[in-house]
Structure 1
Amino acid sequence: MFFMEAKRIAVVILGSFLLAISLNFFLIEANVYASGFSGLAQLLSSIFNDFLSINIGTGVLLLILNVPVLIIGWFKIGKGFTIYSILSVIFSTIFLELLPIISLSDDIILNAVAGGVIGGAGVGISLKRGASTGGMDIVAMILSRLQDKPIGIYFLILNSVIIFVAGILYEPENALYTMLALYVTTLVIDAIHTRHEKVTVLIVTHKAEELQRAIHKQMVRGITIIPAKGAYSKEDKSLLYLVVTRYELYDLENIITETDPHAFTNIIQTAGIFGFFRKEGETVNDIQQTK
């Protein structure tokens, strides 16, 4: 357990470092903006420096923007997820302040693509380990707990504001290059983890009852158990069918590994669902009463 948590912290720190590399070595000097709170902090830093002659670093602004969100996340999401997100924000701030802001290339397209790839890798590996880089991921997690509606619209709104303001205050081309960076970032996160709000999980196991109890002990999700038989082995098994949010994937993987390391698990992208899906304040009993 200690080794697993140490590895998780190391990955979070690495993700923070990659995010800082993306901003300080590629995006900031090119006036190309990252996604979410990182891009918002970057844009605010540019506005303060260029129009108000106030020198405030991107890292400091990123920390300030995240403070209220992390406080809400502590109470609404849970301490575990939020603690790792706090670590991510703190180390991102440290790396952003320590690393020099330089330009490795004068090619703005190269800066947009390289910054998008490295930044997306930083976010992706953090999400894969059950943490986040704070900001919009925390907001999205809170919204996913409160209502069963697509959270992508909130990412779209914030990123659209960043692109629009960048196009107005600076060169319109910078807004287009920012769109390129955001697109590349999304592709990389997709490849490493997933940008989908919900995923369908199919688990083939010999330990259906133990696995069901272990899942319900840690998360509130409805599970359908279907009898199954191995086509080659002819062994009787069970298929567990459930839908979870992308933020719960890491915890679910750990539960499956600890309960039945021989289980076969298939994770499928979920475009949308109809019917009941657990929301804030609902318990296992509430789910069972609706079935």
Structure 2
Amino acid sequence: MESLEGLSRRYNLLSKISAAFLYAIAVAVALNFFWQPGHMYSSGVTGFAQLINTLSERYLPFTLTTSTLYFALNVPLFILGWFKIGKKFTIFTIIAVFLASIMMHNLPAPEWKLDPLVCAIFGGVINGVGTGLALKSGISTGGLDIVGIILRKKTGQSFGSINIAINLLIVIAAGFVFGWTRSLYTALNIFINGRVIDAVYTQHQKMQVMIVTEHPKKIIDGIQEKMHRGITIIHDVEGAYGHTEKTILFTIIDRYDMYDIHNIIVACDPYAFVSVSEVAKVYGRFKEQELV
């Protein structure tokens, strides 16, 4: 009979491959259904691939396809990810990029003319959801995802914000190629894409949890055993209503951990007072969850 560890590994593998496949479909739909008909660029390496594709159509005797360029431009970034993030992470990234290249090439584009605003909104949302789900599953979609993850580890800035900052160059390029009106739609698309990524991929978003409880030991044990988070303890505090002795616990978690810590607190002390606030930056010995 297969062990639980073996089943867990198999489930994890299937989850990552499924996320890679969903991302491939999402980026292909966004590209072929919205960005290309709307004459606007995507973010990251996909946007650079589109730019080179446009320039090759205009100035070269042959056309370099977006799908081929997308994979080729990712190759040096695969190498960067291999050494800076992890081998397993990079292998799944290669799978995601390869599947995306195939879907971009083979998914037929509909012959329709849509409002550029519709293209910017729906293209950004669809690609953002696909990218966020891939990252949430522990894989990358290549390109600036890899650069963004490395920079976030060093600077603490949110992934979407880094994505938007780097893609300013693509907005300017879109202005020269398609005109400045389309450049603004490209900027809107990239902004929406970044915000949707942040909404879906929540691991990097830090939250401070303050817990006022009469049963600190149970909660501390639950958090440390199940979540492996550090906790700061303030003893001998008093509630103004009942004048009972309480303890305040402070801990920093990922937003992704909110469900787990809520269950721990409710199980240990259903009458605990809990306050949660967003954290702009964390210094010191805070350990982030591994991507893989």
Query: If the length of structure 1 is used for normalisation, what is the TM-score?
Result: 0.72
Check 1:186–1:147 CA distance in 2 against 1; reply closer, same or farther (3 A cut).
Answer: closer
Deviation at 1:86, TM superposition (A): 2.0
Aligned twin of 2:271? none
Deviation at 1:172, TM superposition (A): 1.5
Letter of the structure 2 residue corresponding to residue 56 of structure 1: L
Matched, 1:134 2:142: yes
Cα deviations by residue, 1:135-177 (Å, 9 ceiling, x for unpaired): 1121122223345567666434431111111101222211011
Q: Does structure 1 conserve the Cα–Cα contact (< 8 Å) formed by 2:220 and 2:231?
A: no
Aligned twin of 1:223? 230
Runs (5+) with no aligned partner, structure 2:
1-7, 267-274, 288-292
Aligned pair partner of 2:172 in 141, 164, 168? 164
Letter of the structure 1 residue corresponding to residue 33 of structure 2: F
**What CA distance in whole angstroms lies between the structure 2 residues aligned with 1:41 and 1:267?**
42
Matched, 1:271 2:262: no
Check 1:278–1:41 CA distance in 2 against 1; reply closer, same or farther (3 A cut).
Answer: farther
Q: Does structure 2 conserve the Cα–Cα contact (< 8 Å) formed by 1:22 and 1:116?
A: yes
Matched, 1:241 2:242: no
Greater Cα offset, 109-118 or 202-211: 202-211
SS at structure 2 position matched to 1:130: coil
Aligned twin of 1:289? none
Runs (5+) with no aligned partner, structure 1:
217-221, 280-291
Deviation at 1:4, TM superposition (A): 3.8
Aligned twin of 1:182? 190
1:47-126 aligned within 5 A: 47-126=55-134
Check 1:264–1:5 CA distance in 2 against 1; reply closer, same or farther (3 A cut).
Answer: farther
Q: Does structure 2 conserve the Cα–Cα contact (< 8 Å) formed by 1:22 and 1:118?
A: yes
Q: Does structure 2 conserve the Cα–Cα contact (< 8 Å) formed by 1:59 and 1:97?
A: yes
SS at structure 1 position matched to 2:51: helix
Greater Cα offset, 174-183 or 264-273: 264-273
Check 1:115–1:144 CA distance in 2 against 1; reply closer, same or farther (3 A cut).
Answer: closer
**What CA distance in whole angstroms lies between the structure 1 residues aligned with 2:154 and 2:84?**
9
Query: If the length of structure 2 is used for normalisation, what is the TM-score?
Result: 0.72
Identity %: 31
SS at structure 2 position matched to 1:241: strand
- What is the total number of aligned residue pairs between the two structures? 260
Q: Does structure 1 conserve the Cα–Cα contact (< 8 Å) formed by 2:20 and 2:95?
A: yes
SS at structure 2 position matched to 1:263: helix
Matched, 1:200 2:207: yes
**What CA distance in whole angstroms lies between the structure 2 residues aligned with 1:80 and 1:242?**
27
SS at structure 1 position matched to 2:29: helix
**What CA distance in whole angstroms lies between the structure 2 residues aligned with 1:141 and 1:18?**
21
**What CA distance in whole angstroms lies between the structure 1 residues aligned with 2:13 and 2:220?**
27
Letter of the structure 1 residue corresponding to residue 75 of structure 2: V
Deviation at 1:92, TM superposition (A): 0.9
SS at structure 1 position matched to 2:167: helix
Greater Cα offset, 200-209 or 47-56: 200-209
Letter of the structure 2 residue corresponding to residue 271 of structure 1: A
Check 1:224–1:83 CA distance in 2 against 1; reply closer, same or farther (3 A cut).
Answer: farther
**What CA distance in whole angstroms lies between the structure 2 residues aligned with 1:36 and 1:183?**
12
Aligned twin of 1:32? 40
Looking at CA atoms only, which structure, 1 or 2, has the larger radius of gyration? 2
**What CA distance in whole angstroms lies between the structure 1 residues aligned with 2:87 and 2:221?**
28
Cα deviations by residue, 1:84-113 (Å, 9 ceiling, x for unpaired): 222211111111111124443332222222
Cα deviations by residue, 1:182-230 (Å, 9 ceiling, x for unpaired): 2222333233234x954136498947458647766xxxxx7235489xx
Check 1:68–1:33 CA distance in 2 against 1; reply closer, same or farther (3 A cut).
Answer: same
Q: Does structure 1 conserve the Cα–Cα contact (< 8 Å) formed by 2:159 and 2:204?
A: yes
Q: Does structure 1 conserve the Cα–Cα contact (< 8 Å) formed by 2:116 and 2:185?
A: yes
Check 1:132–1:269 CA distance in 2 against 1; reply closer, same or farther (3 A cut).
Answer: farther
Q: CA RMSD in A?
A: 3.8
